[in-house]
Structure 1
Amino acid sequence: MTVTEIMADLQVDDLDEARRFYVHTLGMTEQPMGLDWVTRFIDPETGAALQVLTRDATAPEDPIATIKVDDVDASYARMRAAGCDIVHPLVTEPWGVRRFFVRAPGGVLNIAQRHG
């Protein structure tokens, strides 16, 4: 299992307000995800990114960060074997991500891999 990317997940009350700030004030570019509860903002020069969400639509808790891995099934097996608290089971979401949530020191993490 290799971690390929880490992205903060910031909970907001209003995505439009977040757009105004991150695009118009900070100069980032929105990378829409096709979902009405989450979007991503990226700095076009550096690739630095931030996801913002109003709430996670399919999980019982909101993550503080998304950690992308190259083998989410192996990550899931490793964390279960270690006795970690799995907050949201391993699932393939309709938007093309295979993921699970795990409780870690400091909050809940979304462990994910692009699927399909």
Structure 2
Amino acid sequence: MTVDAIMPNLHASDLDAARRFYVGELGMAEQPMGHDWVTRFVDPSTGAAVQVQIRDATAPEDSAATVKVDDVDALYAAMRAAGYEIVHPLVTEAWGVRRFFVRSPGGAVLNIAQRHG
């Protein structure tokens, strides 16, 4: 299992205000995700990115970061076997991501995800 990327998930109450800040002030490009509750901003020259969300539409709790992996099923099994708290079970979301949420030892909730299909 390999971690491909880690991206912070920041809370915002207004995505339009977030767009003005990240695009207008920081010069990042928006990569819309097709949802009205989350979007991604990326620096075109470096690839540095952040996701901004109002709330997670299908999980019981928002996550602090998304950890993209190459084998989400194996990691889910390993996390369960190790006794970590699974906050949101392993599911394949309608938008093509297979994911689960786990609480890290420091208490942060991580969205562990893999592109599916």
Give the TM-score normalised by structure 1: 0.99
Question: Which residues in structure 2 correspond to 1:1-116 (within 5 Å)?
Answer: 1-104=1-104, 105-116=106-117
SS of the equivalent of 2:61 reads coil
Q: What is the letter of the counterpart of residue 15 of structure 2?
A: L
Deviation at 1:34, TM superposition (A): 0.3
CA–CA distance in 1 between the matches of 2:99 and 2:4?
14
Aligned-residue CA RMSD (Å): 0.5
SS of the equivalent of 1:45 reads coil
CA–CA distance in 2 between the matches of 1:68 and 1:75?
11
Deviation at 1:2, TM superposition (A): 0.7
Equivalent pairs, count? 116
CA–CA distance in 2 between the matches of 1:113 and 1:72?
6
CA–CA distance in 2 between the matches of 1:2 and 1:76?
13
SS of the equivalent of 1:74 reads helix
Give the TM-score normalised by structure 2: 0.98
Unaligned stretches of 5+ residues in structure 2: none
SS of the equivalent of 2:27 reads coil
Deviation at 1:62, TM superposition (A): 0.2
Deviation at 1:106, TM superposition (A): 4.0
Q: What is the letter of the counterpart of residue 17 of structure 1?
A: A
Unaligned stretches of 5+ residues in structure 1: none
